[in-house]
Amino acid sequence: MDSSIIADRRRLRRKLGFWRVIAVALIVALGFAFYRFALGDAGTERPHIAHVTISGLIVDDDELLERLKKVEISDQVKAVVISISSPGGTTYGGEKIFKAIRAISAKKPVVSDVRTLAASAGYMIATAGDTIIAGDSSITGSIGVIFQYPQIQPLLDKIGVSLQEIKSSPLKAEPSPFHEASEEAKAMIRNMVVDSYNWFVDLVADRRKLPRDEVLKLADGTIYTGRQALKVKLVDAIGGEAEIRAYLTSRGVDSDLPMVDWDKKSNTPFLLAGAVSRLITIFGYDDLMKTQDINGILPPKLLLDGLLSVWQVGHD
Burial 266-301 (b: 16+ CB within 10 A, else e): eeeeebbbebbeebbeeeebeeeeeeeeeeeeeeee
- Could you tell me which residues come within 8 angstroms of residue 160 by beta carbon, excluding any fewer than 6 positions away? none
C-alpha to C-alpha distances, 218 to 114, 211, 254, nearest whole angstrom: 18, 11, 36
Catalytic residue among 74, 86, 112, 120: 120
Angle at the Cα of 291 (from 287 to 295), degrees rounded to 5? 145
Contacts of 75 (CB under 8 A, 6+ apart): none
Give the span between the Cα atoms of 29 and 22, in whole angstroms.
Answer: 10
Candidates 69, 99, 167, 172; catalytic one: 172
Give me the residues paired with residue 48 across strands. 77
**Is the Cβ–Cβ distance between 111 and 251 less than 8 Å?**
no
Amino acid identity, position 206: D
Q: Annotated catalytic, 120?
A: yes
**What is the dihedral sign for C-alpha 252, 255, 258, 260?**
positive
CB under 8 Å to 288, separation ≥6 — which residues? 18, 280
CB atoms closer than 10 angstroms to residue 112: 27
Q: Compute the distance between CA of residue 242 and CA of residue 285 in angstroms, rounded to an integer.
A: 46
Tell me which residues are annotated as active site: 120, 172
